[in-house]
Amino acid sequence: MQKVKLPKQVDPVKSAVKRSEYSGVMMSKDMPRLVEVVSGIADTIDVYLKFEKDEQGLTIFHGTLSTSVELICQRCNDSMAHSIDVSFCFSPVQGQEQSVLDELPEAYEPVEVNDHGEVNLLQLFEDELMLSLPIVALHAEEDCPVKEEDMSFGDIEPVDERPNPFAVLKELKRD
Ligand SMILES: [Zn+2]
Output the pLDDT for position 157.
53
Residue 169 lies in a domain: no
What whole-number distance in Å separates Cα of residue 62 and Cα of residue 108?
A: 9
Per-residue pLDDT, 104? 84
Collapse the DSSP code of 75 into the 3-class scheme (helix H, G, I; strand E, B; otherwise coil) and give the result: coil
CA of 141 to the centre of ligand 1 (A): 8
**pLDDT given at position 165:** 54
Query: Which residue segment(s) compose the domain that 17 sits in?
Result: 4-155
Cα of 114 vs centre of ligand 1, distance in Å, is: 43
In a domain, 168, yes or no: no
Q: Is residue 16 part of a domain?
A: yes
C-alpha distances in Å from residue 77, one per residue of 49, 50, 91, 130, 175: 36, 39, 40, 20, 40
In a domain, residue 170? The reply is no
Residue 132 amino acid letter: S
pLDDT in tens, 10-21: 999 999 999 999
In a domain, 75, yes or no: yes
Q: Dump pLDDT digits (tens) for 57-84.
A: 999 999 999 999 999 999 999 999 999 9
- Compute, in angstroms, the gap from residue 151 CA to the centroid of ligand 1: 12
Kindly state whether residue 130 falls inside one of the protein's structural domains: yes
**3-class secondary structure, 47:** strand
- Ligand 1 centroid, distance to 47 Cα (angstroms): 29
Cα of 77 from ligand 1 centre, angstroms: 6
For residue 35, which phi and psi values (nearest 5 degrees)?
-55, -35
Q: Over 80: is that where the pLDDT of 130 sits?
A: yes
Q: In terms of residues, how long is the chain?
A: 175
Q: Cα(144) to centroid of ligand 1, in Å?
A: 4
Q: How far apart are CA 12 and CA 9, in angstroms?
A: 9
Residue 139 C-alpha to ligand 1 middle, in angstroms?
Answer: 5
Q: Are the C-beta atoms of residues 27 and 3 closer than 8 Å to each other?
A: no
In angstroms, what is the span from residue 39 Cα to ligand 1's centroid?
14
In a domain, 104, yes or no: yes
* Residue 164 belongs to a domain: no
User: Where is 82: in which H helix or E strand?
Assistant: strand 79-93
* This model's pTM is above 0.85: no
Number of domains making up the chain = 1
Q: Quick one: pLDDT at residue 129?
A: 97
